[in-house]
Amino acid sequence: MAEFDFNAYWKEKLEIVNRALERFLPEDAEGPEILVRAMRYTLFAGGKRLRPLLAIIGYELSGGKDLEGELLPVACGIEMIHTFSLIHDDLPAMDNDDFRRGKPTNHRVFGEAIAILAGDALFSHAFHTIVQSHVPPDRLVMVLREITDAIGLDGMLGGQVADVTGEKKPPSEEIVEYIHSRKTGKFIRASLKVGGIAAGASTETVKLFHSVGEKIGLTFQIVDDILDEIGEKDRLGKSVGKDRESGKQTYVRVFGLEEAKKKARILADSAISEVEDFFGKEKGKPLISLIKFIVERNY
């Protein structure tokens, strides 16, 4: 049997997503030219597109057949929401970062007011894009419910509030777990789940994606904490050491570097076993390879 080439698979999907993003937010999109330029600046600055990839994998593992019509609007909307969150996270009132995706941050180039508006515009354009999906309306409502739950009060927003208010508080397992599951974990989990939901996956499959997605989300954020400590700025495309500097609640701060690495490995291995048991090693390869990338990544 031919070896599965994850890099080739990822590159192919990344190009599909980038082409679709170009269609959903072209250079000549209606609206103020400066706003479209600022939205596109960060959207096309070179993200890994992990969340759209999770949605595509969830969709294909669930037997989805109309990637273009059904899934890409959802996957692109997810990437727009993610990019919006990065722009706002980098603002002076939040993390005050100068670099993102290997380039000066949005507010450094366009100024704070336009960066805030570009984030807002990506957020609303995301939903305008998602509702263009051809999935049946009942499934689309479930997709929207999953996404809005993941980014809402007890999701990304709640996590970000805990992140901002947790700075300088004594390291706390409870706080860091809340931050990681809400700020990043739920949205990553939702990305995988909505792929399944859009394809009309069985309840068992959606349950599996829920469990695996949760482990992937936490692994992703633990590795993000580790990379802030020991990663390289050029590879990551963003500043390093900022979490420690600002006294953030991170896995490394709470558990130490070695323990954080161990926890990420255990979670990833457990997610991989679940996928193997459910789909088998062969069919599960794209998801298994992505989990391996997430735990081993250096960017």
Site of interaction with ligand GRG (CB under 6 A)? 47-48, 50, 82, 85-86, 88-89, 101, 151, 156-157, 160, 183-184, 224
Taking the complex as a whole, the smallest distance from the CB of residue 143 to ligand GRG amounts, in Å, to: 16
Phi, psi of 45 (to 5 degrees): -80, 0
Taking the complex as a whole, the smallest distance from the CB of residue 280 to ligand GRG amounts, in Å, to: 28
Using the minimum distance from each CB to ligand GRG, give the nearer residue, 126 or 199: 126
Using the minimum distance from each CB to ligand GRG, give the nearer residue, 101 or 248: 101
Taking the complex as a whole, the smallest distance from the CB of residue 189 to ligand GRG amounts, in Å, to: 13
CB of 151 closer than 8 Å to CB of 217: no
Using the minimum distance from each CB to ligand GRG, give the nearer residue, 182 or 193: 182
What's the one-letter identity of residue 264? A
Question: Nearest to ligand GRG by Cβ — which residue?
Answer: 47
Count of other CB atoms within 10 angstroms of residue 86: 21
Count of other CB atoms within 10 angstroms of residue 190: 31
Taking the complex as a whole, the smallest distance from the CB of residue 47 to ligand GRG amounts, in Å, to: 3
Taking the complex as a whole, the smallest distance from the CB of residue 168 to ligand GRG amounts, in Å, to: 19
* CA separation, residue 3 to residues 74, 104, 108, 252, 292 (Å): 30, 39, 44, 35, 16
Count of other CB atoms within 10 angstroms of residue 33: 10
Using the minimum distance from each CB to ligand GRG, give the nearer residue, 20 or 201: 20
Tokens of 154: 């007890």
Count of other CB atoms within 10 angstroms of residue 130: 23
Using the minimum distance from each CB to ligand GRG, give the nearer residue, 118 or 201: 118
The answer for 63, left when phi > 0, alpha when psi is -120 to 50, beta otherwise, is: left
